[in-house]
Amino acid sequence: MPATERASGKADNVARQIREMIADGRLAPGHRLLEADVFKAFSVSRSPARRALESLCSDGFLIKHDGQGYVIAGVSEAPCAPRAALSNIGGIANAEARWHTVYPQVEQEITRQILFRNVRVKEEKMAQHFGVSRTVVREVLSQMRAVGLVSKDRSGRWLALRVTAQRIKDLYELRQLLEPAALQIAAATLEPEEIRNLEQLVDQLIKDYPAVEPDQLNFAERALHVEIVVGRCTNQEIAESLKRSQLLLITNHYLLDLFIGVPEKTALVFLKQHRKVIKALGKGKIADAAEALRVHLVLSCKELVGRLDQMAKVPKPDLAPYLVDQS
C-alpha cells in the first residue's frame, strides 16, 4: 500500500477514536486538543494527527482555537479547564495495548451468550474482572459497537442482542446489497500480487481440506469480506454500513469453533465460492466477481440460519460476572 494511503488510514483511525470519545463523553465540549497531544497519544506521526484534526474540524466536531489547536464543539454543561482533555487523550496510548489484550476474551464471551439470549454489559464489573481501567473497557466496547456486536440503549447501557434467524436474514440482506458494490469499488485499489496471494491461500486451504482449522477458515473469510470488501472500499458510507454486519463473521466463527464444529462439505463449498470470486478479480472480470460474491452470501445466509436451529439442543453457558441476562 502506498505511504499516502497508509497515512490516510492512520488519520481515519485517529479521527474515528476521537469521535467515539466525544460521543461517549470522554472528551467534552470546550476541551482543547493540540496536534502534539494527539500524535503522542496515538503513536502516529504529525501528518496523520494533523489530518485527523482537520477532518474532525471540517465535520463540525472541532473548532479551530485562537492561536493554537482545536476545541471540542458544542456547549459544555460545566466549566472545563482549557486542556482538561489531555488526561483523557493521553490515556489512550496505554489503553490501546490493554484493550487489545482484553478484547478477544470479551468477544468470545459475549458471542457465546448472544447465541442464546440478550445480555447487558456492566462497565464497572468488567473493569474489575480484568483488572483494567474504565477507559480500557470503553475502548473494547467501542470497538465491538463498530462491528455490531454491542449497542447502547437510550439510557446509555451497553447491550448485546441475541442473534435470531430474522436478525441474521436482515444483516445478510444488507450484505447482499452492499458487498458486491463495495467489491467493485475496492477492486480498483487492488494490486495483482495481492489477488494472487489471496488465491494461493484459498487454493492451499482447498488442497489441505479437511485438515483445516476453524481459525484458518475464519482468516480466509476475513481476508475477502473484511480486508478487501470493507477495508479497501473507498466509499466510506458503504464501508461503515458494512462494518456493522461483521457480527455475522464473528458469530459464524464461534458457532463453528465452540459449539457445532465445522460442517465439512459446506466449508469446502464456501472455499470454492471464495476462489471463484478471487479468480474473477484476477482476470479483471469485476462484475462477475461481484455476482459470485452475491451468490455466496445468499447461500451463506441459508447455511447460518440452518446452523442456528441446532443451538436449541445446546445448554446455555453460564454468564460472566460482568454480564446480566436481559432476555
pLDDT digits (tens, 9 = 90+) for 145-202: 988 999 999 999 999 999 999 999 999 999 999 999 999 999 999 999 999 999 999 9
CA distance 24 to 145: 12
Residue range(s) occupied by CATH 1.10.10.10 in the chain? 3-83, 94-163+315-325
CA pair distance 133, 128, nearest whole angstrom: 8
Each residue's pLDDT tens digit, 103-150: 999 999 999 999 899 999 999 999 999 998 888 898 899 989 988 999
The Cα 112–Cα 162 span in angstroms is: 10
Q: Which three cell numbers stand for residue 282?
A: 484476477
DSSP string, 126-138: HHHHHT--HHHHH
Q: pLDDT digits over 26-68, tens only?
A: 777 888 888 887 887 777 788 888 899 999 998 888 888 776 7
Helix (H, G, I), strand (E, B) or coil at 170: helix
Q: In this predicted structure, what is the pLDDT of residue 8?
A: 64
Beta strands (DSSP E) in the chain are 32-33, 62-64, 70-72, 119-121, 151-152, 158-160, 323-325
pTM score: 0.69
Task: Tell me the DSSP string of 270-289.
Answer: HHHHHHHHHHHHHTT-HHHH
Cell matching residue 92: 489512550
276 near 199, Cβ under 8 Å? Answer: no
Determine whether domain 165-312 maps to CATH 1.20.120.530: yes
Distance CA 236, CA 327 (A): 34
> DSSP class of residue 315?
P
Does the domain formed by 94-163+315-325 have CATH 1.10.357.10?
no
List the CATH code of the domain at 3-83: 1.10.10.10
